[in-house]
Amino acid sequence: MYKNEFKNSLVLRKIGLEKVITLLVRFVGIGSRFLLTFLLTKEISLEFQGEYSLVVTSVALLVILFGFDFYVHSNRMIVKGEYDAVFCLKNSVTFYLLSYCVLFPAIWFFFKIFSIEFVRVELLLVLILFEHLGQEFFRTYIALGRPLLANILLFIRTGLWCLILVLGLLFLKPFQVDLNNILVIWLISAIICAMLGFIFFPNLKSFFKIKVDKIWIKRGVIVGATMFLSTICLKIIEYSDRYLIVLFTSKKDLGIYSVFFQLVNVVNVVVFTMYISFLYPSIIKGVYNSNFGAVRAAQKTIKTKTILAVVFYGIASFFFLPFFLEFIGKEELNQNMFLFYIMLISTLFLNFSFTSHYVIVGAEKEKMIFTATFIACLVNLAINFSLIPFFGIYGSAFAMLLSNITLFVIKRKFEKKIIKISLPNASKK
């Protein structure tokens, strides 16, 4: 008995240490992104920050297009233990190669036709390829229960290049920064991330021995198609405001909006890194095994920790945010500080929605996710088009808040329906 207790104690300590290291890695990454955002604003201009935000947003959207949300099928099979991870990797890579062959020429042609000259098109396309591979490795290692390695790869892909640019802006004078230079350094980090993702993958030596399973890939495409539409709706909620702000107001307003968005995103990083990434496999497995006690326990932890994170961060920001904005030296930021708190409340409901989201994923009810995100997307667009022309970036912030509330309410309704069908008395408190 004592040996078991000692063994359990060591396991808990290991998990606790892993969480701490994972969080530190994420904080260094997000801190580098923050510093880059603020240095671009301080050292160059809010207008350049707006242009930078548009490029980053465009890369994120194109990565989604290449991936087609195929990972949902692949990672769910890994979490449930129905297929070996290297089998899923081999078939996923096969699908992605087909995706690249189809979409690369189309996107290159699109950029050339519309004379997109603010960045080098070929450089952007290669970046998108390696950025996508890095993103898929992050998701796969999370599904494999290796969040520390996943977050190290994430730091290399999303934080390392930012850190390099930050050090250059701080210590190398003069240090010339333009969008193409940023993309080159970003690409190098993405390549390193993809290479390490392959190197550390379990049982990779059997990669070439595994045969391609066309039926498995076809099933993944069917699942991915529905989830892809859902993701498009979700990303419209998350990113459409950037383009609409530029359309109806200015790049300077977009720069202001982007700065506060980056600040608020700290909460999402902490909650996902410390809790969701560790607990969502338990939710999926709990649904798969009809163990809704484990599902509720994981959901309660995520909700409780999200509330604590939002409240603590909100109180801390009330005292320290004014000093931080004064350091940046842009009066426009001080004048729009209330924007931060609207966005902060919005993140509360976004993270709440994930507790129901993974129940729906575990039940393989992708159409429910699409329905929820589609309705929330319509709400978001309607409010954005109605309010941004009159209230500017505040209209966009309210649109994000109300659409995230809508997303949470509808997903919660679908979750209750799933639990009621799976276990009639499970939804009764």
* CA pseudo-torsion sign 71, 33, 54, 98: negative
Write out pLDDT tens, residues 237-276: 877 787 788 788 877 888 788 788 878 887 887 787 777 8
Q: Which of 34-48, 125-139, 332-346 has the lowest mean pLDDT?
A: 34-48
- Is the pLDDT reported for residue 118 higher than 70? no
| pLDDT for the residue numbered 101 | 87
- Clarify whether residues 208 and 244 are in a common domain: no
* Residues 6+ away with beta carbon under 8 Å from 28: 155, 159, 163
Asked whether residue 247 is domain-assigned, the answer is: yes
Q: What value does the mean pLDDT take over residues 50-60?
A: 77
In this structure, the answer to whether residues 36 and 137 fall within a common structural domain is: yes
Q: Are residues 284 and 399 in the same domain?
A: yes
Q: Would you state the pLDDT for residue 427? A: 42
Q: What is the pLDDT of residue 342?
A: 92
In-domain check, residue 1: no
Higher pLDDT, 85 or 325: 85
| Distance separating alpha carbons of residues 67 and 50, to the nearest angstrom | 26
Burial zone of 179 (CB within 10 Å; 0-12 exposed, 13-18 middle, 19+ buried): middle
pLDDT score at 117? 56
pLDDT digits (tens, 9 = 90+) for 120-163: 777 888 888 899 999 999 889 988 888 888 888 988 988 898 89
Q: Tell whether 186 and 262 lie within a shared domain.
A: no
Q: Which of 194, 212, 230 is the last residue of a domain?
A: 212
Q: Which domain holds residue 355?
A: 239-422
176 and 314 in one domain? no
Residue 429 lies in a domain: no
Task: Give yes or no for residue 277 having a pLDDT over 80.
Answer: no
Structure confidence at residue 178 (pLDDT): 77
Number of separate domains in the chain: 2
Segment of 58-62, 226-230, 391-395 carrying the highest mean pLDDT = 391-395
Is residue 3 assigned to a domain? no
Instruction: Output the CA angle 143-21-340, nearest 5 degrees.
Output: 85
The pair of structure tokens assigned to 126 is 């290669």
Model confidence at 14, in pLDDT bands (50, 70, 90)? Answer: low
33 with 157, same domain: the answer is yes
177 and 38 part of one domain: yes
Is residue 219 one of the residues assigned to a domain? no
Q: Are residues 205 and 270 in the same domain?
A: no
Q: Does residue 233 form part of some domain?
A: no
| 169, 196, 212 - which closes a domain | 212
Q: Is the peptide bond before 174 cis (omega within 30 degrees of 0)?
A: yes
Give 111 or 317, the one with higher predicted confidence: 317
Average pLDDT, the chain: 82
Q: Render pLDDT for 357-404 as a digit per residue (tens, 0 to 9).
A: 888 888 888 889 889 999 999 999 999 999 988 888 899 999 999 999
* Those residues with Cβ within 8 angstroms of residue 4's Cβ, 6 or more apart along the chain or in another chain: none
Q: Report the pLDDT value the prediction gives residue 137, as an integer from 0 to 100.
A: 92
Residue 200 has pLDDT above 70, yes or no: yes
Residue 234 domain-assigned (yes or no): no
Q: In this structure, what is the dihedral angle of CA atoms 409, 410, 416, 419, given to the nearest 10 degrees?
A: -130
User: What pLDDT was estimated at residue 378?
Assistant: 93
Same-domain check for residues 348 and 200: no
50, 259 in Cβ contact below 8 A?
A: no
**What number is the average pLDDT over the span 75-88?**
82
Burial class of residue 173, CB neighbours in 10 A (0-12, 13-18, 19+): exposed
Flag whether 232 is in a domain: no
Give the number of other Cβ atoms within 10 Å of residue 23's Cβ. Answer: 15
Same domain, 153 and 91: yes
Q: What is the pLDDT of residue 16?
A: 62
* Same domain, yes or no: 256 and 157: no
Q: Mark which of 193, 212, 231 sits at the end of a domain.
A: 212
Comparing 143-157, 164-178, 310-324, 365-379, the range with the smallest average pLDDT is 164-178
Split at pLDDT 50, 70, 90, the class of 79 is confident
pLDDT for residue 429? 40
Rounded CA gap, 188 and 294, in Å?
42
Whether residue 200 sits in one domain with residue 136 = yes
Specify the pLDDT at position 256. 82
335: which residues sit within 8 A by CB, 6+ positions away? none
Q: Evaluate if pTM is beyond 0.95.
A: no
